[in-house]
Chain A
Amino acid sequence: MGLKILTEHINVPGIETLEVYRKHGGYRSVEKALKTMSPDEVVEEVKTSGLRGRGGAGFPTGMKWSFLAKPEGVPRYLVCNADESEPGTFKDRWFMEKNPHALIEGMITSSYALGANTSYIYIRGELLFVLRILEKAIAEAYAAGLLGKNILGSGYDLDLHVAPGGGAYICGEETALLESLEGKRGNPRNKPPFPAVKGLFACPTVVNNVETISSVPWIVNNGGAEYAKVGIGRSTGTKLISASGNINNPGVYEIELGVPVEEFIYSDEYLGGIWKGKQLKAVVPGGSSVPILPANLILKTAAGEDRLMTYESLADGGFVSGSMMGSGAFIVFDEDQCIVRNTWNYARFYHHESCGQCSPCREGTGWMEKVLHRIEYGHGHQQDIDLLVSVAKQIEGNTICPLGDAAAWPVAAAIRHFRDEFEWHIKHPKEATAPGAVYRGQLDTVTA
């Protein structure tokens, strides 16, 4: 059992209430920060901790905070990104639903560090039931003097509100989120200016993920140096992993960064192995937009070393033989899953979710969906594989926001590692479209 920074008390009955949350040490970081530390000292602790953005990009949080512009007389905002929509990811929903005060505590301490007096939690619209849980907890915090004017007599004021989205994956991108929070369509903004300079209502703004913000109280209570002792290298601390797919124990796991992937998949403490006694075929380790890896490459790097659950190890080998930590959404495929069908499914997702602003993404995602659909349904042409690679390449890097990349990478990676499966679909459409048919050739290389 590793250290539980976020989830130590998550299964305590009543932890969603202020009373029980406080009994288990809740809101200590607010007292400590507001009464004994300057805002800059809080920022320094977060820098020292090495905490990295848990939404997907993995950018160092303390550094992001230090970019925040502080012009005189202009309000600053902290916005929590709770628009969790990356396929495979459900940790933030689970966490907020069970322990809403943990996020609120993080919002207060982080807002203090940034000098924000109004902060927002932008939550995806499908989670209105979680919004109600958060609003109830926020009302408790106001009543206890933890929000509002002169918090705990410190002289610091903070209002905290929850704002729902309306169903749009793109609003997880921080500038689209800000547009949405301003009541507009979620079209990402051109950068620069970055939100740190011109964000919400054209004011300096920091946007952080739920898990990132919820990690701040522990860092304030125990010190950034203590946090940095957990994990390996630049992957410090713990990470919530959303585990889904063909495994025995799907769910959310808080792991110390550095657990070997093989242990994570097969140990009963974690995923408990592949369901129904089947073999592992592939894993998407960081949410639908990161490259898929076949079993041999997710368990070991190309150099033959054990692959670890860290930002660096999951990315080892670049896109040739590695992938990414992303949001920590670990999607597991057993031997009966069809890579072509799955790739088509994700292509349809990205086409559906493209905001339509940039033509490479708007048109390219549609083409990829269409071509993959015809391969999956037995009408593929031999040149379709190269066509897909070419379309993916033309989207990548040519759009305002990373949705284009997110759409292109999974297609490119699936073809890179499972090209023979695509070819089989095209050459043998009858066999490939038979009910339950799956190409098994690739399994010959499985070493697990």
Chain B
Amino acid sequence: MAETINEVKFSDEAMAEIQRYISHYPEGRQKSAILPILHIAQAEFGGWVSPEVMDKVAEILNIQPIEVYEVATFYTMFNLKPVGKHVLEVCRTGPCCLRGADQIIDLIKQKLGIEEGETTADGMFTLKPVECLASCGSGPMLQVREKFYENLDSEEKLDEFLEMMRQSEVEKPHHLK
């Protein structure tokens, strides 16, 4: 991947969005925009942030690469390894478990033949159990990119959901289209 180091290039739309976030902070405080920029980067470059992408973010913010690494490794939303087309972020926390989240996670593992953190051989799905997503009244639930899929309380609903995801393309946030 060494040859791609200099090829990390954000689209014009993404750069405009990055500049907009930087403008929200006082002079000299541009580092504050690091989290929104990492979100933009992840959406731009296939759902994960590589070291090369993080270096590019450091360059844009005029900070040391280590400052980006230490942030990207702290926050759980940033995937530091390649992921499947759809990352299933399934809530595994107490309130969802009261409504059957454990069983749904087991079913996903069975149906996709993967364990937590793994990606299916066809590259379609990555299973990433996560902590509470603030949708406790509609559990079991999961998130894919910016969307919540709620009340997945039966095998039929899960099958329907997985089939729909297989047919759907990755949606980029509207401002990056």
Contact = CB atoms under 8 A, between A and B. Distances in A.
Nearest to B77: A167
Interface stretch (A180-188, A254-262, A418-426): A180-188
Contacts of A84: 134
B77 A126 contact: yes
Which of B70, B135, B173 has the most CB atoms of chain A within a 10 A radius of its CB?
A: B135
B39 A163 contact: no
A331 B77 contact: no
A185 B77 contact: no
Nearest to A249: B137
A331 B39 contact: no
A251 B151 CA distance: 12
A324 interface: no
A168 B75 contact: yes
Interface stretch (A46-54, A59-67, A303-311, A345-353): A345-353
A115 interface: no
Interface string B20-32: 0000101001011
A167 B35 CA distance: 10
Interface stretch (A3-11, A33-41, A87-95, A378-386): A87-95
Interface string B158-170: 0000000000000
Contacts of B97: 341-342, 345
B138 A250 contact: yes
A186 B136 contact: no
Contacts of A251: 137
B93 interface: yes
A164 B137 contact: no
19 contacts: A75-B26, A87-B132, A88-B132, A89-B134, A120-B24, A163-B24, A165-B35, A166-B38, A167-B130, A183-B29, A183-B33, A185-B71, A201-B26, A288-B93, A288-B132, A337-B98, A341-B97, A345-B97, A346-B94
Interface string A233-264: 00000000011111000111000000000000
B78 interface: yes
B146 interface: yes
A144 interface: no
Contacts of A165: 35, 75
